[in-house]
């Protein structure tokens, strides 16, 4: 239960990459990871509780966000970092989503960090394993391993206003603390079987797309896939090659666009390696191409019509049967839900051993799925590509702020933050992928980078000026959100379709209503006067 100091804490990578700037980060950062000793269990506390010495920064989650945060902090000279990760490996999304066909749907050159470009991407849209490999490479390259504590499932975050400390209690009963805390637990990291009627009666094999069962042999099996979202359209073309018969249950069809996927030839990688600016240029071009997509996807504009025409053309081109085309035609504006990208999804649905079912499911039963047309569809295995538990109106675990206030309560009608990253009443707390930071059209990592740099500025201020609290002013946050909601009202997401972007009452606490560039610009500016500052 103790935190063993790593023998090789100063790994070669860490030595190779010294902090780029040395800032006065206060006492806390003076210690290195190596000499940070665990304070053993306090005698007066219950046996299970182990309290660790405070760090400068406490990060929850070792996915792209948590690791990126550590890299940027380290580059700014902050190295007293603890990353709490409930899993046994880094990578989050890309560690968990290992289903057949898993890949990003934003080109890899854009779906990677600009401060750690990878010339070796094998194709335009890399697979899950390759992305996970890139994340492992980041950990090694920047020597992040020393910060990470695996198997620490955070159950609560609590602010002690007297000490100006955030503490995280884990399921195992340990308490970690830090002067600043970063919630990087991922927007799509909690996956479980959906709450469908009869789900516990089903006796066959169940697999969730985000917890793939690699030991299951699909050959000769009758298999169902529930869901036709981003994961499903990647799984279906792969599964159909393996199984005896595949049945796809669709509730709402998505807009599917062609996917320009190419292998990257070796000479191209060589150019990227030798002339990194060429890769940066490509990245910039991809960035702009995706930015222009915003015009189609976020707002209703002539480009929206064009995009819809491309979607319809793709469908018409790939699906011959008129009724099937009707079943696959969305009845909402493009962009209202996540736009899907695939060349092999429609063809897969038309394979002789595949069947698309659009009858509503009313229950699962011992042998399969019963749909409203009265038929029981029987399966050896059901794959749930039903998405994630997204906390649109709450936090994944209790977060307690100043005076015992609960973020869950405050967010019960929809989450709100200032610039998606700070919440008034919760000083020194930063969020990646916070409220209204969701990109509809561009790489999540583009958004993430500007959040990370914003957080670094806040954290540097807290540590450098030895602040007890850096707390966004409530009226500033309120004003910001009024602006956001006004702009959201004009977007496609709020145009009437139901999606995971919206709460039950149709409140959009998920998406950012604008270009990535606009978002980046707002994050570039750290206005001190927006914050209440309490010195330590």
Partner 1 sequence: MAMIDLDKMLEKVKATQWALADIDWDAPGAELVTKEQWPQLKDFMVDLMWIEHVGARGFAAMAKKAPTETLRQLYSYFHAEEQRHANAEMALMKRWGMLEGDELPEPNINIRLVIEWLDRYADGMPYYVLGTVIPMLEVALDGALCTFLLESVNDPVCHQAFEKINDDESRHLGVGFTVMEMQGHNKTSIQMVKMMAPMLDPRLLLGIASYLPLLNKMRDNVVKMGLPEEKLYAAMNKFKRIGGRTAEGRRNPWYQFIQHHGSIMVKRSNRFYHIPVDAAVKVTGLIPRRMLPAVPSWVKELTWQPTA
Ligand X SMILES: Cc1cc2nc3c(=O)[nH]c(=O)nc-3n(C[C@H](O)[C@H](O)[C@H](O)COP(=O)(O)OP(=O)(O)OC[C@H]3O[C@@H](n4cnc5c(N)ncnc54)[C@H](O)[C@@H]3O)c2cc1C
Collapsing DSSP states into helix, strand and coil, what is residue 509?
coil
For residue 421, give the DSSP letter: T
Summarize as ranges the residues that interact with partner 1 (CB under 8 A). 321-324, 326, 331, 359-360, 362-363, 367-368, 370-378, 498
Residue 309 phi/psi, 5-degree rounding, is -65, -40
Single out the residue of 76, 132, 154, 415 in contact with ligand X (rule: CB under 6 A). 154
d(CA 233, CA 347) in angstroms, rounded, equals 11
**Would you say 26 or 387 has its CB closer to ligand X?**
387
Q: In angstroms, rounded to a whole number, what is the distance separating the alpha carbons of residues 177 and 160?
A: 10
Give, for 389, the enclosing helix (H) or strand (E): none
CB of 125 to ligand X, least distance (A): 8
Least distance in angstroms from the C-beta of 527 to ligand X: 25
Q: Give the one entry of partner 1, ligand X, none that residue 167 binds, where binding means its C-beta sits below a cut-off of 5 to 8 angstroms depending on kind.
A: none
Instruction: From the list ligand X, partner 1, none, pick the one residue 397 interacts with, judged by a Cβ distance below 5 to 8 Å according to partner type.
Output: ligand X
Closest contact distance (angstroms) between CB of 360 and ligand X is 25
What are the counts of helices (DSSP H) followed by strands (DSSP E) for the chain?
A: 14, 21
* Interface of this chain with ligand X, residues 189 to 228, rule: CB under 6 A: 189
Does position 185 bind ligand X by CB under 6 A? yes
Q: Smaller CB distance to partner 1: residue 102 or 315?
A: 315
The answer to whether 363 and 372 have CB atoms below 8 angstroms apart is: no
Of residues 343-402, those binding ligand X (CB under 6 A)? 397
CA distance 463 to 29: 8
Cα separation, 212 vs 201, whole angstroms? 21
Size of the site for ligand X (CB under 6 A): 34
**Residues 250, 358 contacting (CB under 8 angstroms):** yes
| Residue 106 binds which entry of partner 1, ligand X, none, CB below 5-8 Å type-dependent | ligand X
Identify which of residues 306 and 375 has a Cβ nearer to partner 1 in the complex.
375
Q: CA nearest 310: which of 340, 349, 348?
A: 340
Q: Is residue 421 involved in binding ligand X (CB under 6 A)?
A: no
Does residue 269 sit in helix, strand or coil?
helix
Could you give the CA distance from residue 104 to residue 97 in angstroms, rounded to a whole number? Answer: 11
Between the two ends of the chain, the Cα-to-Cα distance in Å is 31
Asked if residue 516 binds ligand X (CB under 6 A), the reply is: no
Tell me if 62 contacts ligand X by CB under 6 A. Answer: yes
Contact between 153 and ligand X per CB under 6 A:
yes
Work out what residue 169 binds among partner 1, ligand X, none; the CB cut-off runs from 5 to 8 Å by kind. Answer: none
Q: Which is nearer to partner 1, 365 or 402 (CB)?
A: 365
Nearest CB to ligand X, comparing residues 184 and 256: 184
Q: How far apart are CA 482 and CA 289, in angstroms?
A: 29
How many angstroms separate the CA atoms of 8 and 77, rounded? 19
Asked if residue 66 binds ligand X (CB under 6 A), the reply is: yes
Q: Which residues of the chain form contacts with ligand X (CB under 6 A)?
A: 60-66, 84-87, 92-93, 97, 102, 104-106, 111, 152-154, 184-186, 188-189, 230-231, 397, 432-433, 443-444
């Amino acid at each position: 239960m103790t935190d063993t100091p790593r023998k090789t804490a100063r790994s070669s990578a860490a030595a190779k990459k010294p902090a780029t700037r040395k800032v006065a980060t206060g006492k806390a950062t003076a210690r290195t990871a190596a000499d940070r000793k665990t304070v053993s269990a306090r005698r007066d506390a219950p046996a299970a509780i182990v309290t660790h010495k405070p760090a400068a920064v406490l990060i929850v989650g070792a996915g792209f966000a948590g690791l990126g945060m550590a890299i940027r902090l380290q580059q700014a000279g902050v190295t007293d970092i603890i990353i709490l990760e409930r899993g046994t490996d880094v990578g989050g999304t890309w560690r968990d989503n290992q289903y057949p066909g898993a890949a990003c749907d934003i080109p890899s050159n854009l779906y990677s960090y600009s401060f750690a470009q990878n010339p070796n991407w094998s194709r335009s849209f890399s697979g899950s394993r390759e992305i996970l490999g890139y994340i492992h490479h980041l950990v090694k390259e920047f020597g992040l391993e020393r910060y990470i504590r695996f198997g620490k499932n955070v159950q609560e975050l609590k602010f002690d206003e007297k000490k100006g400390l955030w503490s995280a209690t884990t399921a195992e009963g340990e308490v970690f603390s830090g002067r600043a805390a970063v919630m990087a637990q991922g927007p799509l990291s909690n996956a479980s079987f959906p709450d469908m009627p009869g789900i516990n009666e089903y006796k066959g094999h169940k697999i969730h797309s985000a917890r793939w069962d690699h030991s299951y042999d699909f050959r000769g099996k009758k298999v169902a896939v529930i869901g036709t979202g981003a994961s499903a359209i990647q799984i279906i073309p792969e599964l159909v090659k393996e199984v005896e018969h595949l049945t796809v249950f669709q509730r709402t069809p998505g807009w599917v666009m062609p996917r320009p996927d190419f292998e990257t030839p070796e000479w191209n990688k060589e150019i990227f390696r030798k002339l990194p600016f060429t890769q940066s240029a490509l990245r910039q071009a991809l960035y702009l191409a995706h930015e222009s997509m915003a015009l189609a996807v976020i707002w209703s504009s002539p480009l929206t019509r064009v995009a819809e025409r491309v979607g319809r053309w793709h469908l018409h081109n790939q699906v011959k049967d008129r009724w099937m085309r009707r079943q696959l035609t969305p009845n909402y504006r493009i962009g209202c839900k996540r736009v899907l990208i695939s060349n092999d999804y429609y063809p897969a649905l038309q394979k002789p051993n595949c069947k698309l079912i659009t009858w509503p499911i009313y229950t699962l039963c011992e042998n399969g799925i019963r749909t409203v047309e009265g038929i029981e569809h029987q399966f050896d295995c059901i794959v749930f590509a039903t998405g994630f538990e997204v906390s649109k109106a709450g936090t994944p675990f209790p977060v307690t702020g100043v005076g015992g206030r609960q973020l869950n309560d405050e967010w019960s009608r929809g989450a709100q933050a200032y610039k998606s990253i700070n919440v008034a009443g919760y000083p020194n707390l930063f969020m990646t992928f916070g409220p209204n930071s969701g990109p509809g059209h561009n790489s999540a990592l583009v958004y993430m980078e500007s959040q990370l740099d914003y957080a670094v500025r806040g954290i540097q201020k807290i540590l450098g000026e030895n602040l007890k609290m850096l707390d966004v002013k409530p009226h500033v946050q309120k004003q910001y959100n009024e602006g956001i909601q006004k702009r959201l009202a004009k977007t496609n997401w709020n145009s009437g379709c139901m999606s995971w972007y919206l709460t039950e009452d149709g409140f959009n606490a998920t998406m950012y209503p604008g270009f990535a560039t606009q978002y980046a610009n707002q994050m570039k500016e750290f206005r001190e006067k927006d914050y209440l500052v309490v010195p330590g």
